[in-house]
Structure 1
């Protein structure tokens, strides 16, 4: 559950950039592979004051990719794609995005030369050259130690690989390109042993008193968690966030950490209930 004051996020923080993630791969939709890139992307963008507003997981399909990427590009400041840029027949992301924006593919000779330099043990065959066939025109953002670049198309579509460790390394290296430290959201967390049904009215009262902030309420997910509900407060004004957190903590008998809550109350959630977190 999440709640906020009457203003929209855009009205509260008009300078914040928005982002969408397009996660591509049949293996994600049939359960063979678990997506971890979305969580990494969301957390890193959050630190840069960028709000990830939408995540879509779609198959390796030309029409699906083209429809999704054009729609998301029109609505978001940044679109990040993950997956489908390898050397095999199911890797069609570059071509699908090129088609979506009416572009042709062109072999990028600099990327091929980087392949030779960084991975001299590998033959540069036709399959590997496919990984350097990019929509033209595009911008390339390199990462130290890797030959594969982030490929930027249509000024705001950023194409990344699906392999988590490569995705993470490339995004982290280029994170300065997205958002700003100055617009990073401030946040605070309050843990409580009360239940959502018991604290809902108090949460609403505090949210109404701080209309420029976003509030969230999340029941514990594991039986041995040291709390019943985690409450979050987010906003651009750090002092306002801290004031709201103090008011909310007092209202729900909360604490800033599960350990502090346990030390103060002598309780470890309500272990007699399964699931224990909500009403």
Structure 2
């Protein structure tokens, strides 16, 4: 255990009133602390092996969350959803017929399509699915039919 952790835990033990120690003892039966970053004294508290309690400080939260990934059952990257965003300057009402027919074609391939207007600028069309090849084919159809361009690709 590194020095900041020892100092923190020693300080907590020294200044905890007896009535709080009773509650602390009961909580320790269902929880345990995970120190996932050597440079931080802040633990991730895991309750019953399921719920993780993280601090509200964004920078510490992010570091602990990244350190927590080995403890989380995450799906393999091949099964994670991907997103392609296509931007067009066409009006959303003009997009609807094409997007509706495209959605019917790719529905069986588990691709979801959504359109998100930006006032006075254009429309972002989001395509989400797990098969990257089919997703890119659908995105290229959107680019061709709706005079758009791919502005973003990546994991969801």
**TM norm. shorter chain > 0.5:** yes
Question: C-alpha separation between the residues in 1 aligned to 2:146 and 2:44?
Answer: 46
Q: In structure 2, what is the equivalent of residue 185 of structure 1?
A: 81
With the length of structure 2 as denominator, give the TM-score of the two structures.
0.73
Please say if 1:155 is aligned against 2:44: no
User: Deviation digits for residues 106-163 of structure 1, max 9, x if unmatched?
Assistant: xxxx8xx8251xx69x954536xx8xx4552224332221122212223321111111
Instruction: Measure the CA separation in 2 of the matches of 1:115 and 1:204.
Output: 60
The structure 2 residue matched to 1:247, chosen from 117, 121, 141, is 141
**Which structure: greater helix fraction?**
2
> C-alpha distance in 1, partners of 2:78/2:34?
23
Q: Give the 3-state SS of the residue equivalent to 1:218 in structure 2.
A: strand
Aligned-residue offset at 1:233: 0.9
Q: CA deviation at 1:172?
A: 1.4
Question: How far apart are 1:243 and its partner, in Å?
Answer: 1.1
| Structure 2 equivalent of residue 195 of structure 1 | 91
- Identify unmatched segments of 5+ residues in structure 1: 1-109, 259-279
Q: Is the partner of 1:148 in helix, strand or coil?
A: coil
Query: Any unmatched runs of 5+ in structure 2?
Result: none
Give the whole-Å Cα distance in 2 for the aligned partners of 1:144 and 1:204.
51
Q: Distance in 1 between matches of 2:145 and 2:90?
A: 11
> How many pairs does the alignment contain?
137
Tell me the residue number matched to 1:238.
132
| 1:175 corresponds to 2:69 | yes
Change (3 A) 1:196 1:126: farther
TM-score by length of 1: 0.43
Moved over 3 A (4+): 122-125
1:138 aligns with 2:31: yes
**Matched position secondary structure for 1:146:** coil
Hey, what does 2:117 align to over in structure 1?
219
